[in-house]
């Protein structure tokens, strides 16, 4: 079979009228930056990239060296090409403007530069997640409020997993596609077009250590999965939890499954664990475009009107039927109150 590179794929998307030249360049630049992050990640201890950076991010979390390095690589790569009006990163409080010496474009880029950072030092897959929005008309110096657009308005979303292979998963709203990095050649090559997630699954992903803090409908739902063949679901379920959302989502994209980071008593005041703009919205678009579903347990993630750049939300995503069952339990419990 003739291999199709990411560049060829982007040209085809342009010819089909699904993206414009600026968006195509933007994705090329992000992919190139992610190749540099992959190189840094792969060097491990030899590259001096492991361990704490000694700083904290906007969320008050300790930053790893690779969090800071990845953020800088993405900012630097995206500053000068003329495809962006501004960037926003999970690692920075405010949006990053494009320096005055460079031309500005019509797009806004949001990213979580290194997701799953607790896994860096133990050599488990980590990743980058990104989302692309249109800069509102007439705005030349975008502020945080200009990024606060619902997930349904995303022009593109993607993630890169730095695992045994480096893999890019991308959507422009016309299906979800996977590209694998050919390290010798230095190109991302299309490895799966139009990925479909099976609607049903026997595999779930959740951090079970939070069980006692969950809300009643979540306790009920997971309790039924754990009861297996003898319980109301009448079948056994298997569980996986990598603690890198990119890796957990990539497994779901590959063989189906569901992923939950529900609300619990410890994180209720924050609204959830995962960030709407950097994690939940892009992953929701990727999953929906592959035939899956993504909700907060109560409503579709991509319909949420964001209220803050660093807003957190509960996340239920993956195989459609299972997301629907868990969401139904929450909606039903709310209606009964
Ligand atoms: P970071 O943003 O600090 O890298 O955290 C990763 C993450 O947001 C997501 O990738 C995981 O699914 C989740 O945290 C893991 O959370 P637990 O530590 O509670 O298992």
Residue 55 reports pLDDT greater than 80:
no
∠ CA 258-198-295, rounded to 5°: 40
- Ligand 1: which residue has its CA nearest to atom 1? 116
Burial label for 138, CB within 10 Å (0-12, 13-18, 19+), is: exposed
Report the distance separating Cα 90 and Cα 92, nearest Å: 6
Residue 58 reports pLDDT greater than 70:
no
Whole-number pLDDT of residue 2: 83
Handedness of CA 64, 70, 73, 77 (dihedral sign): negative
Pairing of strands 258-261, 315-318: antiparallel
Report residue 314: phi and psi, to 5°: -70, 150
Of 47-56, 76-85, 108-117, 308-317, where does mean pLDDT reach its minimum? Answer: 47-56
The tokens describing 140, both together, are 């030349």
Whole-number pLDDT of residue 48: 77
Report the distance separating Cα 202 and Cα 235, nearest Å: 8
For ligand 1, what atom is nearest to the CA of residue 275? 8
- Ligand 1: which residue has its CA nearest to atom 18? 243
Residue 1 reports pLDDT greater than 70:
no
Residue 280 reports pLDDT greater than 80:
yes
Report residue 298: phi and psi, to 5°: -130, -30
Ligand 1 binding pocket includes 207 (Cβ within 6 Å): yes
pTM: 0.96
Name the pLDDT band for 191 (thresholds 50, 70, 90).
very high
Q: Report CA(244)–ligand 1 centroid distance (Å).
A: 6
Indicate the top mutation candidate among 214, 273, 316 to test ligand 1's pocket, ranked by most ligand atoms within 8 A of CB.
Answer: 273
Report the distance separating Cα 64 and Cα 51, nearest Å: 6
Whole-number pLDDT of residue 170: 98
Name the pLDDT band for 295 (thresholds 50, 70, 90).
very high
């Amino acid at each position: 079979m003739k291999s199709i590179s990411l560049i060829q794929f982007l040209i085809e998307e342009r010819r089909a009228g699904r993206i414009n030249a600026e968006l195509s360049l933007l994705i090329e630049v992000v992919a190139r930056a992610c190749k540099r992050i992959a190189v840094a990640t792969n060097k491990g201890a030899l590259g001096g990239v492991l361990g704490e950076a000694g700083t904290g991010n906007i969320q008050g979390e300790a930053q790893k060296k690779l969090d800071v390095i990845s953020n800088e690589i993405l900012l630097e790569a995206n500053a000068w090409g003329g495809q962006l009006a501004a960037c926003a990163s999970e690692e920075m409080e405010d949006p990053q403007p494009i320096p005055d010496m460079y031309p500005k474009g019509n797009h806004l880029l949001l990213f979580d530069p290194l997701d799953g950072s607790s896994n860096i030092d133990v050599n488990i897959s980590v990743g980058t997640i990104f989302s692309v929005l249109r800069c509102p008309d007439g705005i030349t110096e975008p502020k945080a409020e200009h990024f606060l657009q619902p997930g349904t308005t995303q022009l593109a979303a993607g993630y890169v997993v730095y695992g045994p292979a480096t893999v890019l998963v991308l959507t422009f709203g016309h299906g979800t596609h996977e590209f694998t990095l050919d390290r010798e050649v230095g190109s991302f090559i299309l490895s799966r077009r139009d990925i479909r997630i099976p609607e049903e699954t026997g595999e779930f992903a959740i951090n079970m250590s939070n069980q006692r803090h969950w809300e009643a409908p979540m306790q009920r739902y997971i309790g039924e999965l754990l009861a297996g063949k003898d319980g109301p679901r009448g079948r056994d379920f298997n569980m996986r939890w990598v603690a890198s959302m990119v890796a957990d989502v990539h497994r779901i994209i590959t063989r189906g499954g569901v992923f939950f980071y529900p609300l619990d008593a410890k994180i209720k005041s924050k609204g959830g664990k995962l960030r709407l703009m950097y994690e939940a919205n892009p992953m929701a678009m990727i999953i929906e475009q592959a035939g899956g579903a993504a909700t907060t347990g109560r409503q579709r993630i991509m319909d949420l009107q964001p209220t803050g750049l660093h807003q957190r939300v509960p996340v239920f995503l993956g195989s459609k039927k299972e997301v629907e069952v868990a969401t139904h339990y929450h909606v039903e419990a709310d209606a009964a109150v």
